[in-house]
Structure 1
């Protein structure tokens, strides 16, 4: 028996609060889970700084990756023997599902923005580089690592395979909505996944849903909509992200200006110089980052010290609704007033914008083209979801944006009571 077909002598199961059990029978999958690169995901939180808002949100990318694998495993068990499904692609789909988030760094998106990184590029680098994951995949067949990387990169020739983990109704979204809802304690992310899996069908290019399951898909779309605005874009979470981002910017600035750190930031050096090697990337996880933040509270630089203290001890910035396009004059005046009272606005006056497009139909040629969800009618015809659903049609193609202005209220309140600048600042922020 080849390594590709090798099965465990006894099925392994992970107990899971979302799916109850995650089943592993393939030797390849079991070996991948045991690699250092995959185990590292235990030390990367799924929701970044959301734990400062929702105290239960301590779950990891490891949890989520196993969950996506399990959903794909269940989908494929339903696809056996159905038209358009090639059973030879089974192991490829399972591996891509398991490894799709492998390249996420500490605090994920905030970290990426500051250091100009791309977690998807690092996912491919881990899969194709000199890693334990790569060596396991290569044992399946010589070009198997490239196939897995192509699926995750959305360039694989079989579009049906890609749609399993990357589409507007995929295993990735179905897991993170339910998992994030469970750990944050909210009800928004729950939907009838069992029904969706039962009515999901393979076609030549993508997953489709029988029209009898339309209402379950509507529920899924609305769950996603609510989760983004009630959880993912929560203003308190964004306050923590703002501070996190400013800590990283400040430490990079100090390094570039030859500041002498009490604790030499050796784990950050390649990130500061934007010359990150794969091994250095894998060695930096959230436990390491938090250790530096804890130590940097004692730095002599007052800005770095204050920001780290705020992040570690949850002394977050306050916020107000603020549209920079309509309130630019007020923004410029605030910026000058902050400088006047000795508060650096580069770090303490921040506009943060969040936006989301909950569902979209096909818009060829546009950035991030989205393949729509199709319903399979009783006449065996494909109809785009928003054509049949009034609920989905009402939000299709509608991008919603939210702007907040973040600032340290405690610093402003500590200004001298007779200060004209202080009075004017509060007039603007009122």
Structure 2
């Protein structure tokens, strides 16, 4: 491995969460300056949440720098406690910085319609024909693959993986603090200084001193509150439903041979389900917004309506929904169809679920490495065995189902038809 070049002087980014982001390695500086990483400035961190929390306009770029900074501080605290080679330290920093580089516009909404996952594209960006790959190869020809393996959780060093991806890692710590700051809520705040002080390297990953257990409890509860009060907010979910329907409708129209007023050239590879890496990297939220504006004036009434709804924040209303109530959903679809409203685009069941903390469960849907405490006698113990607070929520998944529909379209229907639909929905006329 070639010894990494240092900058002539340390560079810093002012940051509202960590105050400063410090960069000493030229490799890191060049990665930040690459076109693929700069593209993250044009991808919002919280997708459609800005329509619920008007301050939530921060980007994946902001967040990625924050994850890098937390990783840098963790490595500083590990000095003298564990021996990491220069390449291993760089591996941690690069994986932290690049872990989200494969995100697309509006992230999860875009992924759902076009059936791919951002981690697949992250690997492509790191190992493919990109500026980032060329920069990483300055360390060694194998280095890009190692970075990709850390992000994919297949690397052979459990400690390095746990620093980037675990139940308490650099990624989660930054997004909770950053998202709380920009959305203006207090739920996501926790004592990161204390957590970093009690974090220790261990054979099987990272552990936390028992004396710092309450700071870890606070982190777990902050995460729980952020998911249910911010990430799963029903207005945000309504915006995601409308956005999903826009992508679905545009894709369907293209496949049916619809003549768009302006051909959506940047989206055609996705409609054709064969995008290249270059196609993917050319796409960001500004491009999607451009075509959304075009579609809002296009001839298809459904696509036009959905785009105007999203742009003007005229979102769908929602009611609670029992997933066992198939008959109710079937009746509603028929009533809407009879009323001339296409339920494929104007009726949607959306579910959210979260498992805030779990211990390792082999063979389950998602194998989770537990948070371990370092006891005063040198032994380690799983968090929920020592914390009554965490034990009370451990392994318990919470679900929430909502049924989304356009209330204003019901208002335009004949009174008796609208009342029948509202009756099935379980809403009053003025809902």
**Do these two structures clear the TM 0.5 threshold for a shared fold by scoring above it?**
yes
Do structure 1's residue 300 and structure 2's residue 299 form an aligned pair?
yes
Match of 2:342 in 1: 344
* 1:270 CA displacement: 0.8
How far apart are the structure 2 equivalents of 1:42 and 1:355? 29
Whether the aligned pair in 2 keeps the contact of 1:104 and 1:119 (CA below 8 Å) is yes
Are 1:79 and 1:85, in contact at CA under 8 Å, matched by a contact in 2?
A: no
- Match in the other structure for 1:423: 419
Answering whether residue 388 of structure 2 is matched by residue 398 of structure 1, we say: no
Superposed, 1:62-141 pairs within 5 Å as 62-83=61-82, 85-86=84-85, 88-141=87-140
Q: 5+ unaligned residues in a row in structure 1: which ranges?
A: none
Shift of 1:332: 1.0
Cα distance, 1:367 vs structure 2: 2.1
Structure 1 residues 279-336: Cα deviation after superposition (integer angstroms, max 9, x where no partner):
00000100000110011001110000000000001000000111121x2211111111
Q: Tell me by how many angstroms 1:88 deviates.
A: 4.2
Query: CA RMSD, aligned part only?
Result: 1.0
Give the superposition deviation at 1:428.
1.7
CA distance in 2, matches of 1:295, 1:309: 10
Q: Helix, strand or coil: the match of 2:137?
A: helix
* Distance across 2 between alignment mates of 1:103 and 1:412: 40
The verdict on how the C-alpha distance between 1:227 and 1:353 changes in structure 2, with shifts beyond 3 A counting, is: same
Q: 3-state SS of the aligned residue for 1:394?
A: helix
> Does residue 204 of the first structure (1) align with residue 203 of the second (2)?
yes
Contact 1:56-1:185 within 8 A present in 2 as well: yes
The aligned residue for residue 171 of structure 2 is: 172
Kept after mapping to 2: 8 A contact 1:110/1:245: yes
Cα 1:148/1:397, change in 2 over 3 Å? same
With over 3 angstroms needed to count, the CA separation of the structure-2 counterparts of 1:88 and 1:32, relative to structure 1, is closer
Residue from 366, 369, 374 that aligns with 1:368: 366
| Structure 1 counterpart of 2:408 | 410
Tell me, in whole angstroms, the C-alpha distance in 2 between the residues paired with 1:160 and 1:394.
Answer: 28
Aligned residue for 2:11?
12
Contact (CA 8 Å) 1:330, 1:428: kept in 2 or not? yes
Is the partner of 1:320 in helix, strand or coil? strand
The secondary structure found in structure 2 opposite 1:140 is: coil
Is contact 1:84-1:204 (8 Å) kept?
Answer: no
TM-score normalised by length of structure 2? 0.98
Q: Over residues 4-27 of structure 1, what are the superposed CA-to-partner deviations in whole Å (9 max), with x where a residue is unaligned? A: 421111100000000000000001
Give the Cα separation in 1 of the matches to 2:26 and 2:132.
Answer: 13
Question: Residue 35 of structure 1 aligns with which residue?
Answer: 34
Output aligned runs, 1:255-270, within 5 Å: 255-270=254-269
- Distance in 2, matches of 1:55 and 1:79, equals 38
Give distance in 1, aligned partners of 2:120 and 2:22.
29
Distance 1:84 1:363 in 2: 30
What's the offset of the Cα at 1:86?
A: 4.7
State the 1:3 CA deviation. Answer: 5.5
Residues 134-187 of structure 1: CA distance to partner in whole angstroms, max 9, x if unpaired? 000001111110110110111111110000010001000000000000000000
Distance (whole Å) between structure 2 residues aligned to residue 298 and residue 386 of structure 1:
55
Match of 2:354? 356
SS at match of 1:63: helix
**Contact 1:324–1:331 (CA under 8 A) maintained in structure 2:** no
Equivalent positions of 1:310-329 (< 5 A) are 310-325=309-324, 327-329=325-327
1:213 corresponds to 2:209: no
Question: Does the CA contact (< 8 Å) of 1:3 and 1:28 recur in 2?
Answer: no
Q: Who is 1:275 aligned against?
A: 274
Q: For residues 189-268 of structure 1, what are the structure 2 equivalents within 5 Å?
A: 189-268=188-267
TM-score, normalised relative to structure 1 = 0.98
Aligned to 2:385: 387
- Give the distance between the partners of 2:267 and 2:85, measured in 1 at CA: 45
Residue in structure 2 matched with residue 55 of structure 1 by the alignment: 54
User: How far apart are the structure 2 equivalents of 1:274 and 1:205?
Assistant: 41
Give the number of equivalent residue pairs.
426
Gap change, CA 1:340 and 1:4, over 3 Å in 2: farther
Q: Distance in 2 between matches of 1:125 and 1:190?
A: 34
- Classify the secondary structure of the residue corresponding to 2:21: strand
Distance 1:416 1:279 in 2: 50
Gaps of 5+ in 2: none
Whole-Å Cα distance in 2 between the matches of residues 229 and 53 of structure 1?
13
Counterpart position of 1:24: 23
